[in-house]
Amino acid sequence: MPGIVKERLFTPGPTPLLMEAQLRALSATLHHRTEAFRRLMKETVAYLRYFYHTQNDVLIFASSGTGAMEGAVSNLLSPGERALIGTAGKFGERWVGLAQAYGIEAAVVSAPYGQCVPVEEMKRQLASAGPFRAVFVQATESSTGVSHDVKALAEAVRALPETCLVVDAITGLGTTDLRPDEWGLDVVIGGSQKATMIPPGLAFASVSEKAWKFIAQSKLPRYYFDYAKERKNLANGESSYTPATTLVVALHAALSYIKEIGRENLIANAALHAEASREAARALGLTLFAAGSPANAVTAINAPAGIDSGVIVKEMRNRFGAIISNGQGTMKGKIFRLAHLGYYDALDLFAVIAGLEIALLKAGHRVQLGAGVRAAQEVYLRRQG
């Protein structure tokens, strides 16, 4: 074995860190009840609005993304109100679990893993089985590598004055063209350990005026994840409780970088990596897990017949220090996932595909070495010239 193996993350979170943001965070000594921090918070929120493509409020919580998801449920609904949930994977199921935890009755529209949430069925439910106070869905379902048509769903929800749309865009932001204001995405959830290139620990939620109206009426219990309280404090550059100061410093630096390169280019980068990974997989005789509408955020690939995907994941880790993801739940052993969230460049792409070819070979799959890399290179040249 070679003496040097560098660890690299290709997982759908955490993701590779922007060194500049890390260094800024490490060298920062800040107290949160100071003018300097208030200014930093306000600037960070302005950057978040840019990143989100929204003029809505964007709240920041010290928690993982699930905290803001839970907040969306507890802040929008009241006992007795109903929700509509679209699920086609492990993260969609999280919405179902959250609704249950708060005693909210939910109509669940589900699709098998690998398929998209059927928006037409969601629309039928909205038209015939309501009223629903909120509709919950993922922009991109990271467990299966599928992207959902939130634009079409938003069109239907926008027409209902008493219903709002909550989108878990934890892996959608920065990888997918989402237009909260144009389309009517009322609450959009994000997390720091994804396309924003910084460590886990922050959750985000953008909130529309329509959603604020419901939040003012909502009666479910809540304390830490109190959206209205956070909004009030954030207007002064403060948070209700001690903020994760170093992560906010890192976020400020990372979002400033993202603004510099342009959010469209960040999304195009993920799209290129996703397309190249799909083409590489096909060239290596593999099939994709996503039946249609594959996400830019993450590519889920079926393990070759007779090979446990865990063997491929292990080969990648042990030989190359490349951390890729196994499937979750019943998909474990059957698929592996390569993420394209945030700070990846073309050489990362070529390298991970080259490593994958060897890992597949060692796992017992017949591989023509170079076929996957070539496919990725061709996509690169087609897109980048």
Ligand X SMILES: Cc1ncc(COP(=O)(O)O)c(C=O)c1O
Q: Which residue, 170 or 205, is less far from ligand X as judged by CB?
A: 170
Closest to 69 in 3D by CA, of 48, 100, 93, 95 = 95
Determine if 91 is a binding residue for ligand X (CB under 6 A): yes
Instruction: Report, in Å, the least distance between residue 162 CB and ligand X.
Output: 26
Among residues 296, 257, 273, 258, the alpha carbon closest in space to that of 169 is found at: 296
d(CA 331, CA 91): 13
Q: Closer to ligand X by CB, 249 or 339: give it.
A: 339
In angstroms, the CA 310 to CA 381 distance is 32
Q: Does 70 bind ligand X (CB under 6 A)?
A: no
Q: Which stretch binds ligand X (CB under 6 A): 34-42, 73-81, 164-172, 209-217?
A: 164-172
Q: Tell me how far CA of residue 100 lies from CA of 75, 82, 95, 105, 277, in angstroms.
A: 15, 11, 9, 7, 37
Is residue 66 close enough to count as binding ligand X by CB under 6 A? yes
Does 188 engage in binding with ligand X (CB under 6 A)?
A: no
**SS3 assignment, position 307:** coil
Say whether residue 142 binds ligand X (CB under 6 A). yes
Question: How far is 22 from 134, CA to CA, in rounded Å?
Answer: 37
Span of 105-113, 119-127, 166-174, 370-378 interacting with ligand X by CB under 6 A: 166-174
The yes or no reply on residue 191 touching ligand X (CB under 6 A) is yes
Is the CB of 295 or the CB of 363 nearer to ligand X?
295
Residue 138 sits in the site that holds ligand X (CB under 6 A): yes
Q: How far apart are the C-alpha atoms of 363 and 313, rounded to whole Å? A: 10
Phi, psi of 361, deg, nearest 5? -60, -45
Q: Provide, rounded to whole angstroms, the least separation between the CB of residue 76 and ligand X.
A: 17
The nearest distance, CB 242 to ligand X, in angstroms, is 19
CB 274 within 8 A of CB 380: no
φ, ψ (nearest 5 deg) of residue 132:
-115, 135
Q: Contact between 168 and ligand X (CB under 6 A)? A: yes
Which residue has tokens 């922007």?
18
Q: Which H or E run includes 131?
A: none
3-state secondary structure at position 341: coil
- Taking CB under 6 A as the rule, does residue 201 contact ligand X? no
- Binding status of residue 176 toward ligand X by CB under 6 A: no
**Binding-site member from 44, 171, 277, 326 for ligand X (CB under 6 A):** 171
CB of 193 to ligand X, least distance (A): 6
Decide if residue 13 touches ligand X (CB under 6 A). Answer: yes
d(CA 29, CA 246): 8
User: Nearest approach, Cβ of 139 to ligand X (angstroms)?
Assistant: 8
Q: Write down the least CB distance from residue 129 to ligand X, Å.
A: 25
Which among 139, 244, 237 is positioned nearest to 199, based on CA atoms? Answer: 244
* Cβ 309 to ligand X shortest distance, Å: 18
**Least distance to ligand X from the beta carbon of 216, Å?**
26
Q: How many residues bind ligand X (CB under 6 A)?
A: 12
Strand partners, 110: 87
Residues contacting 357, CB < 8 A, separation 6+: 284, 367, 369, 370, 371, 372, 373
Segment lying near ligand X (by CB under 6 A), choices 61-69, 103-111, 327-335, 371-379: 61-69
Tokens 């990725």 belong to residue: 376
Q: Applying CB under 6 A, does 93 fall inside the site for ligand X?
A: no
Please state the closest distance from residue 260 (CB atom) to ligand X, in A: 26
170: contact with ligand X by CB under 6 A:
yes
Residue closer to ligand X (CB basis): 125 or 138:
138
* CB 83 within 8 Å of CB 262: no
Q: Which residues bind ligand X (CB under 6 A)?
A: 12-13, 64-66, 91, 138, 142, 168, 170-171, 191
